[in-house]
């Protein structure tokens, strides 16, 4: 519950109209799903303006409006509180921080160039064996999603695990100031969102803001196998490190063994752990989850059992076994780091008749976009990929590079859209094939996966 004073104090806003004694049931930014008695915050996005739905929100039961554009709030309704703020997205974050401070529970924040959603899910899965854990739904990891997640914290929750994403400078620091996390996990620093972050140094500078804003006990958990994070020995207090490459760290994996659909490793030289499907990056994800479990006093055997039953989130290198073929659905997002991991997983498949890579564009790479796509054409030509199918404007450079690097031209194909890719796949898929579908979210490659699931 919130009252007028809470909202005004949290946002630094002004009560422009309405009674000062009102209380509200919650906060919403969606007029279609708002609950009666809630506060409607008129968020302005790239493709919409929440101010245009104020009347609709009131008709559905909103009792207060938080807005920043007075020109769109002229027809004031009786019985409704109107709170003017300088910027509604910032106001949403401020309200979420106010709400977060009501609960004395630890918050674990996870960021990184790739793997953060799977890591967040794995940490939450491990901790939920002993605790009531709250987490982001899917990838609600931005300046809207994180506040909405925080606003759902209740007294029943013991721990909150938050994923934080960014595609431009300043966002991680802002998210950390809103969530006020106590534990910070950084999975890696890689070439993602270079369009706005510039280069790897820019990515590093942005991600490390999470650690700078941790509250007590201020525990940082970093991947020492990452070239940037591995060199970091002092951030306010000594961080903890995990790695499947370096032995001189706090949480380490050795004796890594790949199986058909899993990978096993020895944790800290003592405990045998198994992770589903053979992706090396899931070993490092597991190490961070094990570390969090140990930080909160969990028994290592309980943690190990939870790791062994964890399954990948949808659209994140999710293995889908169909009657005629196997599909690895990694269609949620793509950047050079995650693409390399996914290709390596495809090439470890030994039971299928052919390995088929369906590669869509990697986006937000700025001036280096063509260079990265061309690099992967060469990389793929040296791997055990039987058929390469590229889709989109940038990925054409990958198919051209693959041919130039020696891959059989008869096994390399390029198309502009999902429909053309599907037409080709329907004509060539054989029983026993293993397919990897990988591309950035806006390429909508989940449509390819859905069509394959329906047909095969």
Could you tell me if 154 and 283 lie in one domain?
yes
Could you tell me if 80 and 108 lie in one domain?
no
Could you tell me if 204 and 254 lie in one domain?
yes
* Residues 414-424, mean pLDDT to the nearest whole number: 94
Note whether 103 and 157 are within 8 A (CB): yes
Give me the percent of the chain exceeding a pLDDT of 90: 69
* Residues 128-145, mean pLDDT to the nearest whole number: 92
In a domain, 51, yes or no: yes
Of 287, 309, 331, at which residue does a domain stop? 309
Residue with tokens 């190490």: 287
Note whether 22 and 4 are within 8 A (CB): yes
Q: What pLDDT, on a 0 to 100 scale, did the predictor assign at position 115? A: 85
| Residue 96 vs residues 42, 151, 269, 322: alpha-carbon distances, Å | 15, 5, 42, 43
**What's the mean per-residue pLDDT of the chain?**
91
| Residue 243 vs residues 112, 224, 296: alpha-carbon distances, Å | 15, 5, 20
Among 20, 6, 62, which residue's Cα sits nearest to residue 37?
62
Residue 377 structure tokens: 């054409």
In a domain, 97, yes or no: no
pLDDT at 167 over 70: yes
Could you tell me if 88 and 113 lie in one domain?
no
Q: What pLDDT, on a 0 to 100 scale, did the predictor assign at position 244? A: 83
| Residue 331 vs residues 59, 352, 357: alpha-carbon distances, Å | 38, 21, 12
Could you tell me if 144 and 251 lie in one domain?
yes
Q: What is the pLDDT of residues 35-91, one digit of tens each?
A: 999 999 999 988 889 999 999 999 999 999 999 999 999 889 888 999 999 999 999
Q: What pLDDT, on a 0 to 100 scale, did the predictor assign at position 237? A: 58
Domain range for 387 is 318-455
Q: What pLDDT, on a 0 to 100 scale, did the predictor assign at position 179? A: 97
Instruction: In whole angstroms, give the CA distance from residue 158 to residue 239.
Output: 24
Give me the percent of the chain exceeding a pLDDT of 70: 97
218 Rama class: left (phi>0) / alpha (psi -120 to 50) / beta: left
Could you tell me if 360 and 408 lie in one domain?
yes
pLDDT at 233 over 70: no
* Residues 368-390, mean pLDDT to the nearest whole number: 94
Among 204, 209, 268, 271, which residue's Cα sits nearest to residue 231?
204
pLDDT at 226 over 90: no
Of 261, 285, 309, at which residue does a domain stop? 309
* Residues 226-251, mean pLDDT to the nearest whole number: 78
Could you tell me if 277 and 336 lie in one domain?
no
Could you tell me if 76 and 137 lie in one domain?
no
Could you tell me if 325 and 450 lie in one domain?
yes
Confidence tier at 236 by pLDDT (50, 70, 90): low
């Amino acid at each position: 519950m919130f009252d007028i004073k809470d909202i005004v104090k949290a946002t630094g806003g002004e009560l422009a109209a309405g009674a000062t004694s009102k209380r509200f049931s919650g906060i919403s930014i969606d007029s279609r799903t708002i609950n009666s008695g809630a506060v409607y915050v008129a968020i302005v996005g790239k493709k919409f303006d929440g101010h245009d739905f104020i009347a609709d929100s009131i008709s559905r039961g909103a009792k207060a409006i938080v807005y920043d554009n007075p020109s769109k709030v002229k027809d004031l309704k009786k019985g409704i509180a109107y709170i003017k703020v300088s910027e509604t997205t910032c106001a949403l974050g401020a309200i979420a921080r106010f709400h977060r401070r009501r609960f004395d529970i630890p918050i674990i924040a996870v960021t990184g160039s790739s793997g953060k959603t799977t890591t967040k899910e794995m940490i939450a899965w491990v901790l939920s064996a002993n605790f009531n854990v709250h987490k982001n739904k899917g990838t609600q990891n931005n300046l809207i999603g994180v506040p909405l997640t925080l606003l759902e914290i209740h007294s029943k929750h013991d721990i909150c695990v938050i994923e934080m994403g960014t595609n431009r400078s300043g966002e991680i620091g802002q998210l950390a100031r809103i969530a006020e996390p106590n534990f910070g996990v950084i999975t890696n620093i890689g070439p993602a969102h270079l369009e706005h972050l510039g280069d790897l140094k820019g990515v590093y500078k942005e991600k490390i803001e999470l650690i700078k804003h941790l509250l007590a006990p201020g525990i940082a958990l970093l991947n020492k196998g990452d070239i940037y994070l591995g060199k970091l020995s002092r951030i306010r207090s000594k961080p903890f490190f995990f790695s499947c490459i370096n032995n001189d760290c706090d949480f380490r994996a050795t004796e890594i063994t790949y199986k058909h659909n899993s990978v096993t490793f020895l944790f800290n030289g003592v405990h045998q752990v198994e992770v589903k499907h053979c992706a090396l990056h899931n070993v490092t994800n597991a190490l961070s989850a094990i570390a969090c479990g140990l930080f909160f006093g969990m028994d290592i055997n309980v943690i190990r059992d939870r790791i062994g039953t964890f399954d990948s989130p949808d659209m994140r290198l999710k293995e889908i076994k169909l009657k005629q073929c196997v599909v690895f659905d990694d269609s949620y997002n793509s950047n050079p780091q995650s693409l390399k991991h996914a290709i390596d997983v495809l090439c470890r498949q030994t039971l299928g008749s052919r390995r088929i890579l369906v590669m869509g564009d990697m986006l937000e790479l700025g001036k280096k976009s063509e260079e990265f796509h061309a690099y992967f054409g060469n990389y793929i030509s040296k791997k055990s990929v039987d058929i390469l199918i590229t889709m989109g404007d940038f990925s054409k450079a990958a198919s051209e590079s693959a041919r130039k690097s020696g891959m059989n031209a008869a096994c390399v194909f390029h198309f502009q859209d999902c429909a053309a890719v599907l037409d080709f796949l329907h004509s060539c898929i054989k029983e026993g094939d293993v397919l990897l579908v990988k591309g950035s979210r806006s390429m909508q490659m989940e449509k390819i996966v859905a069509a394959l699931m329906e047909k095969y």
